[in-house]
Amino acid sequence: MIRPDLSLPIPDDITAAHFIGIGGSGMSGLARMFLDAGIRVSGSDRADSANLQALAALGAEVHIGHDAAHLGDADTVVHTGAIWPENPEFLLAKERGLHVIHRSQALHWLIRGHRLVSVAGAHGKTSSTGMIVTALRELGADPNFVNGGVIEQLGVSSSSGSDDLFVIEADESDGTFLLYDTSVALITNVDPDHLDHFGSEEAFHEAFMTFANKAGEAVVISSDDPGAQRVRAGITHPHVISFGFAEDADLRLSDVSTESGVAATLTLRGDTVRMRLGVPGVHNAVNAAGAVAVLTTLGYGLADAARAVQGFAGTVRRLELHGVERGVSVYDDYSHHPTEVRAALEAMRTIVGDGRIIAIQQPHTYSRTQHMYREFAEVLERFADHTVMLDVYGAREDPVPGVTGELVSGAFEDPRHVHYVPDWQQAADYTAAVARDGDYVITLGCGNVYQIIPQVLEALRADTED
């Protein structure tokens, strides 16, 4: 893992940019924006993907695997924190004295001169960003945007627009969200995470206070999340709008219904409007309230903002249906924190009817699993009917002895509710064996757990044939 060095200069002019790890959702979106800006783009990743193929079709030179030769004649190299310091492309770029910048600095370069809306928070960033972007387009605007996931109805995670407005999902995991010159800051929640970087909850909260106080125009923040309220106490910004269920929220949610998606009443300064979303889950009603609050700070009326947000169709890897076999619906969700897992399972509970929820959980990073394995077990045991536990997706981290999926499964109070299966094919076969007509299977995790879905669907088909 490479920690970003934000003190390094960002070049004024970039002619040819090489992206190490170009296939990731965030990096591929940046690469697309660089292509839109007329910059020659090349990049590499460890495996082929739909993102790489799409970038190649747009004119990028993409490579599978990492090799110093892939650097070509690039004058700037963009990297993520997930690569290793021994990466040959990274080492050669340093040796040549090229501009080597973190992806957040590349995004900063793109944003220059725009009015920026930054969406930050431990959970809900991608959906909230997608809601703001799709609502702005519904309202006739044409914003630039870079999101952490593909917006369903747009089919992309980023796009260049003709307006002055730029909307981004701002990553707090490594503190780089403090780099941007934000005009309107949205804080969805401040649930402690990424403590491997920040070191303590206090430092995590202080980073959000700094993020909020730096905003040029306004801060929009949750009225309900305990962490957000601790941050709120340290915000000195003169223009703060709170949103949520709290009685004293500036934009208040009430009368929530979870039938046919989710609906809620929004009240702001005496005005009231009913909002109905096609995406399920109370958490999405809360995300929508935050998006509406942002839109009102940009000058739109409450009714117009609520109407525009209603058209949001979701983002890829957020309660995404992949197929139905033998009456069993198979979904995927990006959730990788106990709070997110609970929200996804609660949302699924509103649509599963009389069926059961079978969760296939892939813990993400050894540090998070070691720190939160009890919370994961508690949430999964309470909100899923059965859990199939895979092993940890280490991402940027080296393995930690004793930290496996079995650490989570062993924390279940009733071992009958969980089955630890590190082998993916065995996990798929086991899922098919226990699933019955009307059940919902959901893969959970921000690693590569979604890649087990074809095996699950095939196992369900084979079970039908048998």
Expressed in angstroms, the distance from the first to the final Cα of the chain is 46
261-315, pLDDT tens digit by residue?
899 999 999 999 999 998 888 889 999 999 999 999 999 999 999 999 998 988 8
* Residue 356 bridge partners (DSSP): none
φ and ψ of 365, to 5 deg: 70, 145
Give catalytic residue positions.
125-126, 169
Angle at 137 between CA 170 and CA 41, to 5 degrees: 55
Give the integer Cα–Cα distance in Å for 24 and 78.
12
User: Any residues with CB less than 8 A from the CB of 25 and at least 6 apart, and which?
Assistant: 51, 148, 149, 150, 157
Nearest to 360, CA basis, from 333, 387, 321: 387
Give the per-residue pLDDT at 347.
83
CA-wise closest residue to 292 among 217, 241, 343, 224: 241
Please list, in sequence order, all residues whose beta carbon lies within 8 angstroms of the beta carbon of residue 148, skipping any fewer than 6 positions away.
25, 26, 125, 126, 129, 157, 169, 171
C-alpha span between 172 and 184 (Å, rounded): 16
152 class by beta-carbon count within 10 Å (0-12 exposed, 13-18 middle, 19+ buried): middle
| Domain ranges, ordered by start, for the chain | 16-103, 113-309, 320-465
Give the right CATH number for 113-309 from 3.40.50.150, 1.20.1070.10, 3.40.1190.10, 3.40.50.2000. 3.40.1190.10
* CATH superfamily entry for domain 16-103: NAD(P)-binding Rossmann-like Domain (3.40.50.720)
Write out the DSSP string of 176-197: GGGGS--SEEEE-------HHH
Task: Match domain 320-465 to its CATH number in 3.40.50.2300, 3.30.70.2190, 3.90.190.20, 1.10.150.80.
Answer: 3.90.190.20
- Grouped pLDDT means (10 residues each) for the chain, 466 residues: 69 92 87 94 89 93 94 92 85 93 90 94 89 97 91 88 94 81 95 61 88 96 94 95 96 90 93 92 92 97 96 82 92 87 87 92 91 94 96 86 94 95 96 94 92 95 71
Question: Judging by beta carbons within 10 Å of its beta carbon (0-12, 13-18, 19+), is residue 229 exposed, middle or buried?
Answer: middle
Would you state the pLDDT for residue 199? Answer: 58
Per residue in 37-72, pLDDT (tens digit) is 999 999 999 888 888 999 999 999 999 999 999 999
- In this predicted model, what pLDDT tens digit does every residue of 192-237 receive, in sequence order? 755 555 557 788 889 899 999 999 999 999 999 999 999 999 999 9
Rounded CA separation 177/190 (Å):
14
Q: Which sign does the torsion angle of CA 277, 153, 18, 117 carry?
A: negative
pLDDT, residue 411, reads 95
